Structure 1
Amino acid sequence: MEPIPNPSSAHPITEERPGEAPIFDWDWTETLAQSWETLLLILSTFWCILLARVVTQKLQLHDSPNLCYAVEFGLVILPCILLITVAVDYSNYIGFVMFSGTLWFLRKNRVLERARTRGQFDLGGNRHMALSVLRALTHLITAINILAIDFGSYYRPYRKSLQFGAKLMDTGIGLFVFTMAMVSRRTHNWSDLRRIAVYSVLPLILLGLARSATVLVLGYGQDIHEYGQHLNAFFTLVFTKFFGALLNILARKDLHLLPLGFGILLIHQFGLSFLGVSDYVMNDDVDRTNFFNANREGLVSLPGFVGLYGLSIYVNRWMVASSLLSYSELVRKLRRLLLVVLLLWSLFVISAYGIGISRMTCNLGYVIWMLAIGSTSLWASFGAIDFVINSVMPWESSPSDEQEKGLVTRGTVAKGGDKSIVSFTISQALNQNGLTFFVVANVLNGAVNKFLRPEDRSNCESVIILLVYMFLGTRMAYELLKRGIRLA
């Protein structure tokens, strides 16, 4: 475990000049190193989810969702906790083992040959399992980190950046917006907007109020530099969802989301860079005597999140535009998505050098970073699940008692002999009640901080507490899934 870095290297440099606003700077090479650590942790957790999918079918856990849950918990949750705490020094070695294991799996099972023999690949629309896994991945990593950060065993360089940076915890709200767009329907008219207001925006408002009440009752501190004095992540999602829906109405066609999204981002960045908005947000000398000043971080960042939401909607619509694809069509689509991924990472490097990466203002660089991570995960998810695993270990979608109860969804039942296997159990549970899971995680987080004093716990104790915390949260979501209950 590395010691806590020197503040001068962990945060942007702030220079004061007499009579002038502070000038904020950043170390772009450090930003690139931070982004690599972040991407490695995300892909490692994703790899563990895929490993759990393979193992549960190899072990033939037919009609045993409880065993599937137990196996997934051990193969996904435990490694993620270890990789952000006591095993962080071995991340690169573990990444190498995962990469080598993937190459071995591809070679041993002759994946290309098997994929070519398949007639069609079913991408299955907005709720495709690859999108569900990506969304669940965001929930898991965020939930683990919001509690783990309070322990001494937590890897300090993963903490949120003060102004500029590309650390693991900077990804939370951005990936939530990206994955929210991935599973959202396009808004075409005012009737759709009313539906979104009732079924999507209202629950988020209630969750935001519940979060604020929890913070107030439990006395759990909240950093005002994240969203401001009164706002929180749920309110950011509320505004993003609502204004993102308006953006969708303005876009007559899916393609129109590109110029609209980039236009909003360019105007937003112009204001940040040339009109002094970035300095206004980041300057601690600006008082918080009125509502806007008090919540400037959350309010000023909204155009960036709305632009990210619109562009993410377009990526999703493009990816699942055709549900049934031939082998050559899927290969062509994955190849084009890979080119987009490479382009986004190139733009990320340029942004890190030129304008910095700022979660606080959700600037253009941050949006490009979120699109790069999201598109990389999307490419890996569709490629690994549809192209690789489903070719080597095919399953057949068919109605079953479990599906009727909501235990599994379309495209998630694998046939093993005459019995069915439940795959991606935890991912399905978090997709059905993701926001409920996140609220429970926040409540448990506050309780642990109030009664267990995490800063005084040893490495071993911290891992045990995190395991119990994640067990309670995921088990709750899993029990709701078994009973077909969907709250939010």
Structure 2
Amino acid sequence: MMERNHSSYKELKEQFVSGHNGSPASEITLIYFGIACCVFLHNAFAIRCRNLWFHWITDFLFLVLPGLSSVTFLSESKTIIIVSVLSLAALSIMISKQVNSKNSTSSVSILGQELDKNLDFISNFRAYALICTSICILAVDFKVFPRRFCKAETYGTGLMDTGVGLFIVANGIVSPESRNKGKISSLKSSLLSSLPLIILGMGRVLSTKGVNYQEHVTEYGVHWNFFFTVSAVKICSSLLLTFLGNIILSGPAIIVILLYQLLLNKFGLSGYLALGADGHGGRTGLLDSNREGIVSCAGYLSLYLLAVDLGKHIFNRERKTVRDWLSFAGVLCLLQAVLWCVMMWTEIHVQQVSRRFANLAYVVWILALSIFLLWLLLLVELFRYTQSPTLSKSEGDVCLLSAINYNGLLYFLLANVFTGLVNLSIDTLKSPPAQSMGILVSYMGILGFVTVLLYKWKIRLKFW
């Protein structure tokens, strides 16, 4: 790497990702709509092939590349990408219907058809939460990634603001608490699963400080990071649920976020988080240096509890047929519509969305966006069952998404390592668009291939 003033270069990199105001929430919603369309396209082609290379390439082309393109060099053409994806899917379905016209099934028998106990829409949601985050953490360092998709400095809805929120929701939905496991086993499981996160958090602090890596301090603080937030939320929620027991958690979650928002609005907590104890943005002492990361855990805790409640409604209700799941899809549709209205009202009358604070508007926004994506992915999966047998689930279907779920923590860890290596190897600020896209495509391709390979060999990185 060419010689340069590392201090000034680090400052340039930090300025490049700082001070942004995000983009309209509608644009971010459109991006996630495109994600569901990618799964729809993959299902429509229903490619059956046990060749690892072929499966990896097709999964990458259908499931990753459209989303990667829509947030980089084709960011102004998202609608065209979505229309193209849907058109290809429709064409594939029409051809399949012509080939399998004799296998048509009546609508009555379809609605009464029993489905697999474990549907894929939750797994697909979890996988895409990691895919989107992995794309953004490296793409943000290149100019090909629009600045409006960066994390908003204090207020606003940026695409990257959704990462930690969706991750919290995904964890909450499939948590031991959502499946009504015993208090002791849930607490033990949460404590054990938090250990690798704490270790990774400490490792990130030591590595970034050791190589003088660029940091966005107002994101979490000087030492705090994503891994500490997730582990803190898991531990706090488990301790809280040990005392609360098996109750409806929406009540405690709402109480937590309303009390937190009261502190933000009426007791000067917003000012403290934005400007620090000295009122000028300074950072003195451990607490003040990491104020955003520590205090925002209250908002993330509320979001996690709401996600646990959502998971209970998904896993602990008896749904066997297509009709049962269609009814649930209707509930999700109504719920997300209500949440979008609440978000808009909150932004006007309470406080704008702030990932930095993890305030009320942010929690409602992430919950609405999560339910919107879950709803779409559920509809995509149910549509599979209304079509000819060529669209039915086959072994290895959505292989990349299954592989990411199988090794989620390793996938995200590798994404962070690869991101660091790229940033230490080249000057991303001077990288031309073609080179930037080549690096991003290679990065996501290698990341996916390693994950699929481990899944094929049934190798799983698990610390507990």
Fold shared by both chains (TM-score > 0.5): yes
For residue 466 of structure 1, report the CA deviation from its aligned partner: 0.5
What amino acid does structure 2 have at the position aligned with 1:469?
A: Y
Distance of 2:169 and 2:390 partners within structure 1: 28
What amino acid does structure 1 have at the position aligned with 2:239?
A: L
Is 1:219 aligned to 2:215, yes or no?
A: no
Name the counterpart of 2:126. Answer: 135
Distance of 1:441 and 1:262 partners within structure 2: 34
Name the counterpart of 2:354. Answer: 358
Is 1:195 aligned to 2:189, yes or no?
A: yes
Change beyond 3 A, Cα 1:323–1:222: farther
Contact kept in structure 1, 2:165 and 2:366, CA below 8 Å: yes
Name the counterpart of 1:402. Answer: none
Contact kept in structure 2, 1:211 and 1:442, CA below 8 Å: no
What amino acid does structure 2 have at the position aligned with 1:455?
A: L
Name the counterpart of 2:379. Answer: 383
Distance of 1:248 and 1:103 partners within structure 2: 46
Contact kept in structure 2, 1:211 and 1:439, CA below 8 Å: no
For residue 40 of structure 1, report the CA deviation from its aligned partner: 1.1
Name the counterpart of 1:263. Answer: 255
For residue 319 of structure 1, report the CA deviation from its aligned partner: 1.9
Is 1:38 aligned to 2:28, yes or no?
A: yes
Contact kept in structure 2, 1:64 and 1:422, CA below 8 Å: no
1:76 to 63, 68, 76: 63
Change beyond 3 A, Cα 1:91–1:191: closer
What amino acid does structure 2 have at the position aligned with 1:84?
A: V
Change beyond 3 A, Cα 1:394–1:352: farther
Is 1:273 aligned to 2:265, yes or no?
A: yes
1:238 to 231, 242, 249: 231
Q: Map of 1:6-21 to 2, 5 A cutoff?
A: none
Q: Determine what percentage of the aligned residue pairs are the same residue.
A: 27
Q: Map of 1:342-421 to 2, 5 A cutoff?
A: 342-354=337-349, 355-385=351-381, 387-394=382-389, 414=394, 421=395
Name the counterpart of 1:248. Answer: 241
Distance of 2:390 and 2:459 partners within structure 1: 26
2:346 alignment partner, SS class: helix
1:451 to 419, 425, 441: 425
For residue 280 of structure 1, report the CA deviation from its aligned partner: 0.5
Distance of 2:106 and 2:326 partners within structure 1: 13
For residue 123 of structure 1, report the CA deviation from its aligned partner: 5.8
Q: Map of 1:433-452 to 2, 5 A cutoff?
A: 433-452=407-426
Distance of 2:107 and 2:73 partners within structure 1: 40
Change beyond 3 A, Cα 1:282–1:138: same
Contact kept in structure 2, 1:182 and 1:313, CA below 8 Å: yes
Distance of 1:106 and 1:472 partners within structure 2: 30
Contact kept in structure 2, 1:120 and 1:324, CA below 8 Å: no
Report how many aligned residue pairs link the two structures: 432
Which deviates the most, 235-244 or 312-321? 312-321
Change beyond 3 A, Cα 1:279–1:101: farther
For residue 295 of structure 1, report the CA deviation from its aligned partner: 0.4
What amino acid does structure 2 have at the position aligned with 1:91?
A: K
Contact kept in structure 1, 2:149 and 2:160, CA below 8 Å: yes
TM-score norm. by structure 1 comes to 0.82
Which deviates the most, 226-235 or 332-341? 332-341
Is 1:288 aligned to 2:283, yes or no?
A: yes
1:229 alignment partner, SS class: coil
What amino acid does structure 2 have at the position aligned with 1:476?
A: V
Change beyond 3 A, Cα 1:329–1:77: closer
1:117 to 110, 120, 131: 110
Consecutive unaligned residues of structure 1, counting only runs of 5 or more, are 1-6, 13-30, 397-411, 415-420
Contact kept in structure 1, 2:36 and 2:380, CA below 8 Å: no
2:43 to 48, 53, 63: 53
Q: Map of 1:448-487 to 2, 5 A cutoff?
A: 448-487=422-461
For residue 161 of structure 1, report the CA deviation from its aligned partner: 0.3
What amino acid does structure 1 have at the position aligned with 2:332?
A: L
Contact kept in structure 2, 1:236 and 1:302, CA below 8 Å: yes
Change beyond 3 A, Cα 1:452–1:121: farther
Q: Map of 1:91-102 to 2, 5 A cutoff?
A: 91-98=78-85
Distance of 1:393 and 1:481 partners within structure 2: 29
Distance of 2:92 and 2:32 partners within structure 1: 20
For residue 460 of structure 1, report the CA deviation from its aligned partner: 0.8
Name the counterpart of 2:5. Answer: none
What amino acid does structure 2 have at the position aligned with 1:234?
A: F
Distance of 1:112 and 1:269 partners within structure 2: 52
For residue 322 of structure 1, report the CA deviation from its aligned partner: 3.0
For residue 167 of structure 1, report the CA deviation from its aligned partner: 1.1
What amino acid does structure 2 have at the position aligned with 1:160?
A: K
For residue 455 of structure 1, report the CA deviation from its aligned partner: 1.1
TM-score norm. by structure 2 comes to 0.86
Name the counterpart of 1:16. Answer: none
For residue 105 of structure 1, report the CA deviation from its aligned partner: 7.9
2:24 alignment partner, SS class: helix
Change beyond 3 A, Cα 1:208–1:308: same
Consecutive unaligned residues of structure 2, counting only runs of 5 or more, are 1-15
Change beyond 3 A, Cα 1:457–1:310: same
Per-residue deviation, residues 327-366 of structure 1 (Å, max 9, x unmatched): 4322221111111010011111112222110000100100
Distance of 2:115 and 2:446 partners within structure 1: 34
Name the counterpart of 2:143. Answer: 152
Which deviates the most, 182-191 or 351-360? 182-191
